[in-house]
Amino acid sequence: MDKLLANRIWGIPWSVLTLVSLGVTIVYLIIDTSHGTSGLSWIILRWFHSLCWLFLTLAALSMSKITPLPVAWAVPLAVTGGAIYAIFVITGLVTGTLFK
């Protein structure tokens, strides 16, 4: 149990952050954020937000050191999640559906 809660950021164990971000991933898999768009915009607005959170979940999981995922993967996974989120936000702004 000590290993599960040993590694922390801002006093919060990485394993707890992993569970929280996994919960957010699941929520955004259920919530449709595409707001009636079509084509590539629909794919981005429907799936990229949850995909972003999936990458952040994997980054937190690698930082928790409770799986064989290398800690060195955390930064590339988090940066990829951030890039996916930026694509999601830009698409939402361009289509005017981000704040609907």
Identity at 60, one-letter amino acid code: A
- Calpha distance 46→64 (Å, rounded): 29
Q: Report if residue 89 sits inside a domain.
A: yes
CB within 8 Å of 38: residues ≥ 6 apart: none
Res. 92 pLDDT band, cuts 50 70 90: very high
The total of structural domains in the chain comes to 1
With both helix axes pointing from N to C terminus, report the angle between 39-64 and 14-30 in degrees, rounded to the nearest 10. 160
Q: 100 in a domain, yes or no?
A: no
Note whether residue 72 is domain-resident: yes
Residue 51: give the domain boundaries. 2-95
Instruction: Calculate the average pLDDT of the chain.
Output: 90
More confident residue, 83 or 71: 83
pLDDT at 83: 98
* Phi and psi at residue 99, to the nearest 5°: -105, 25
Percent over 70 (pLDDT), the chain:
90
* Residue 60 covered by a domain: yes
Task: Please say if the pLDDT value at position 9 is more than 80.
Answer: no
Q: Give a yes or no: residue 74 inside a domain.
A: yes
pLDDT band at 62 (very low <50, low <70, confident <90, very high): very high
**What confidence tens digit (pLDDT) does each residue in 15-55 have?**
899 999 999 999 999 999 999 899 999 999 999 999 999 99
